[in-house]
Structure 1
């Protein structure tokens, strides 16, 4: 018996596939809307709390992203947009303003890139040469100054015995040497022959970098350095007075100490004087009103500048208003109210602190029985052994009665 029938399932699949697909899609659409609301995005707060982000597609599938990948995806989308916005803003701006902005950015980059000179060796001796008025050391070659120093010391040492550095801001010369004999020769320099002319100099040894300084007030003005060193005393152990000098014609003196601790007070001729912290101030020349160097080394001693207002070539009838050469405000230069009077110096600890090692006690009382016996024995402060014996018998009888 022949039966002409289609294979089961084949015709059904071909005929019902479109309808099934439409029905499946129609049935899954509301579920997709329920699972993926309009608020589902990469910025979902609930996803942030869980640490995962859900990216929904049109077919109802979603991709699970980690938090790190989510952040990278956001960055990749925002950086081109920001770059495009900056480019549009720059093109829409004024060309002169854009050029000024570019030059400012270039100057800032060069300022950050510029570095100071390599510091001189800390363990070496530093000798300072201060020129007289009218000589600008930054306009001279370093080789000229080195040869002048060798000639002033009568060729007693070579060029390899010291290092020379010019400090243009302070208008001084710094000589660094590890040899005490060379330093002794450099201190004796009182003049240098430069370009056929003789220029007087003042030489002295700079304080080491590990010294401490303090200020003492109420001393007799005009006291010479020898009298200060002979009459100053301190009681702090491990600290010595290296040198002391008066600050101009004032009643204050600056004292240099060597050690790890700054003493709280010093004694001058037996009288106690409180030691105050030393705060370096900005140097201002009284001749040219320039900051960075003192009056005795001014490179322009013939400058005609008003010391109060800073007017160049002033007349007798000019309007003179107080103007600070440091901060530019309306007060005298170096006044107590000046906010920029003090130098920006990194604070230094007054005591060298060493970390203490923590140790744990691993011993028991039974390891030291003699300590236990010593603690049980009462202290002896009796006048005789008889009183102590009576006290011990009294304690024994009292304990037996209690039991």
Structure 2
């Protein structure tokens, strides 16, 4: 029974056949269930409208149902074009062969199909020269022939039929465009021109380089495959400019079974369904309520006026993918950057922003670091010994006040070398004092050991320092026991008194050295404060006094 439905007849060569994929059977049930649920929803909505339901709520629910249906349609359409095939050589020519008359490719061995194509194209298989690759796409119902030889391309594209088991099947063969090539549609050509004549006509210096031309059936339009991605606005054919538009791919839909993913010329289904409502074996006068499976609107699935029927072009996808990769690379570089460098840049930016709000601030990149401002008498006197492990700079800087308003004079840079020498001298003296303290500590320990040994051992004599004249009682040959006991008792206070005397002398000497250094430091700081005075008369007087003092001590003025 022949069934006629609404629509425009389109030839199989109108679309890019490498993207035509047969819809999986389980998706048909999902579409049928979704369509049945949508019809039930519309009936419920009409019933609620008759019962007095507000129209605003009905519109919202209808919009939500259409959005859900549209999402499901996109999902099914994307799955219908998914194909998992072996990877072909990137630089080979890909020829698509579409068998007609409902040839079931799944029921015929692939080797037999390859033999039939080679026999039709008169391309024998030679061992050791296997350049061609033959793939069967049973989902889409097509055959793919890949070859690097252009002569083989012409032979295969001229195939009109193949013979399998004594039966002839009509086929259509054409060259598939490259992934990185642009495609444009040119209208207004002479339908009598062949593919070879059109290729020769469009291959001229005025036009961009092309890879091939494919006619859209017997119409006056043809698809031109360009070498680059750019599609020009005009193409010249025998000197006549023809307008060229970008080729738009559409989701494939079968007019026979109503499924997405393949065309009716390769459909092998035994059931005929309405493309609008999905009714099986619909009569000619059946009441059809069309519902698009892609957008959910009231028209046939993938109709010409359906905006969701167009697929995203490969060139646009490639640009989006390149932009995404570029942005991802920039983010990766930012993350891989040295965190210490980023931290330093952040600190610099923060310091710059703070310096803008300061008044009277100036750059100090080439000047001596700030010196604390000090008035005479600010430094408290230091008393007591210096602790071991304390550096000379810590001793000199203790108790010195700092002020943020301290200004640097002109003499700071000139006297930098002299201050460095003075600091080295102070550090050396501090090291010597530490050594003396360590030696005194060892002597005290030895004295304490001697005292303990004298208390425990009555016969042995304690070791005393050589520079001390300690009077010891004379030994007698015959001394009564009480006299010896009194002599030992008299020795203890004498030894303790001598040890205390030695310790007091060492401590007094150390305090005197420290006091002398402190006084020298006070004098140096006083001179420094006077030298930093903004009054030039004061600085001149100070320099004169310093020269006079140096002359009195016999120090040359040049030093």
Normalized against structure 2, the TM-score is what?
0.36
**Greater fraction of residues in helix:** 2
Normalized against structure 1, the TM-score is what?
0.48
Q: Which has the larger radius of gyration?
A: 2
**Greater fraction of residues in strand:** 1
